[in-house]
Structure 1
Amino acid sequence: MIKFFRQIRQNLLSEGKTAKYLKYAIGEIILVVIGILIALQINSWNDNRKAKIVENNFFANVLLDLEKDDEKLNYYHRFHQKRIQYLDTLLTYVRNPNRTMGIEKFGMYVEPLFYSTNATNYATTFESAKSMGIFNNFREKDIVKELSQYYADFVLVENSFSAITRIVENQFEPLMYTLPEGYITETTGTLVVSEEDVQKFYQKVSSIKDNRDITYDYDRILKTSSFENYLIGDMGRSYGAIGIIETRKSILNRLLERIKEHD
């Protein structure tokens, strides 16, 4: 094709048709420019198509991560609601000394308080995409910005859960260790909320017969001011955790809606 155009130019020049040659040259330049523009347009379209595929795959995977996160948040919410119920029951007995709880019921309500929960965040897809630097080619930058803030705010969940763990370790456990743990039975862990199977632990402990003649003075613990202070502190932190969880769930639900609309 190039040889063909060159032949035309040479013929025009040899025939002395300069004006026609100039017109032809201009036309040829225009054709070349149009060809370049078409090629650029095709390349741009191809790049956009590839970027759209990458973006769609990203949001599809993020959607799966957020759905896992939603399930985990539901568990956290249930965990802390139950915790508040147990704290409420114990505080009621503390403030009503004429009511008798009994060692078995006491054990069932205090045992769940030994358990706290670790915060888990499903951010693999987002962090991987961030490290690869692919967000610049995304159209839905507003959603990416919201996702970035959502994952950054996970530290609030971590701090909230850590605060409960610290109060359990520093206040609750030292107080409870003044009471021999022979009160543990196979049903002691019935009210425990945990992602792990803890019943085998209680079955094992209760299977070891206790031949000591011990009086479990749980009533002494109920009457200590430090136990009441612990119950109130734990309850406050649990309410705080629920507030953070509910706020996070609200943001997560909005993100789920926006990403599904994007699809």
Structure 2
Amino acid sequence: MIKFFRRIRQHLLAENKFSKYLLYAIGEIALVVIGILIALQINTWNDEIKATKVEVKFFANILLDLEKDDENLNFYLHFHTKRIEYLDTLLTYVRNPHKKMGIDKFGQYVEPIFYSINTTSYSTTFESAKSMGTFNNFKEMELLKGLSRYYADFILLENLFSSITRFVENQFEPLMYSLPEGYMTASTGDLVINEEDTQEFYDKIASIKDNREIEYDYERILRTPLLENYIIGDLGRTYNSIGKIKSRQEMLRLLKRNIEQRK
């Protein structure tokens, strides 16, 4: 092809047909420019196809991450809802001193309060794509903004859970440790909700026979204002956590719906 054009150019020059040669040269330049533009357009189309494939895969993986988050949030909601039930029961006995709770029931209702949970966020897909600059070629910018807000908002939930943990460690545990724990049995942990199985722990405690003659004055704990103050403080933090969990669940469902609708 190049030789063909060269022959035409040499022929025109040889015949001293400058005007025709000029038109030919302009045409040749135009053809080259058109060829370059076509090549650039093809490259652009290829890049867009690749970017679309990356974007589709990204949102498919995000949906998987959101499913895992949804499972976690359901567990967090269940955990804190039951915590409120246990705190409510304890407060009922605190405020009704003539109502006898019994040492076994006391143990079963105070034991779950020792437990708190840590948060887990499945944000690897989002953070990895963000750090690699993958978002620069994405079209769904509004969805990305929603995801960014969702993952940034995680710190609020983490702080609330940490607040409960610190409150347990600083207020509840010192109060309860003033009562010997020999009252614990294999069934003391029946109401405990935890991601890991705790029954082996309670079986082990129960397997070691307590030969001491100790009076487990649990009513002293129920009567102290410190317990009531603790229960109310824990209830406040737990209700705050539930509110944040539900808010995050709403954000998650909206994101899932928007991502699924883009298919």
Instruction: Give the TM bin, normalised by the shorter chain.
Output: over 0.9
CA shift at 1:22, angstroms?
2.1
Specify the code of the residue in structure 2 equivalent to 1:97: P
Task: Please give the per-residue CA displacement for 1:48-92, whole angstroms capped at 9, x wherever unaligned.
Answer: 111111111111111111110110011000000000000000000
Deviates more, 1:130-139 or 1:109-118: 130-139
Pairs within 5 Å for 1:1-263: 1-263=1-263
Deviates more, 1:12-21 or 1:131-140: 12-21
CA shift at 1:185, angstroms?
0.6
**Structure 2: how far apart are the matches of 1:25 and 1:160?**
74
CA shift at 1:95, angstroms?
0.6
SS at match of 2:161: helix
CA shift at 1:261, angstroms?
1.6
Specify the code of the residue in structure 2 equivalent to 1:58: F
Deviates more, 1:55-64 or 1:219-228: 55-64
**Structure 1: how far apart are the matches of 2:81 and 2:196?**
18
CA shift at 1:254, angstroms?
0.7
- % identical aligned pairs: 68
**Structure 2: how far apart are the matches of 1:138 and 1:39?**
23
**Structure 1: how far apart are the matches of 2:19 and 2:179?**
110
**Structure 2: how far apart are the matches of 1:260 and 1:210?**
59
Q: Provide the TM-score with structure 2 as the length reference.
A: 0.98
Specify the code of the residue in structure 2 equivalent to 1:172: F
**Structure 2: how far apart are the matches of 1:218 and 1:235?**
21
**Structure 1: how far apart are the matches of 2:251 and 2:229?**
34
Alignment length (residue pairs): 263
Task: Please give the per-residue CA displacement for 1:194-243, whole angstroms capped at 9, x wherever unaligned.
Answer: 00000110011001111111111111110000000000000110000000
Specify the code of the residue in structure 1 equivalent to 2:219: D
Unaligned runs of at least 5 residues, structure 2: none
Superposition RMSD in Å = 0.9
**Structure 1: how far apart are the matches of 2:126 and 2:185?**
46
CA shift at 1:98, angstroms?
1.2
Specify the code of the residue in structure 2 equivalent to 1:59: F
Q: Provide the TM-score with structure 1 as the length reference.
A: 0.98
CA shift at 1:149, angstroms?
1.2
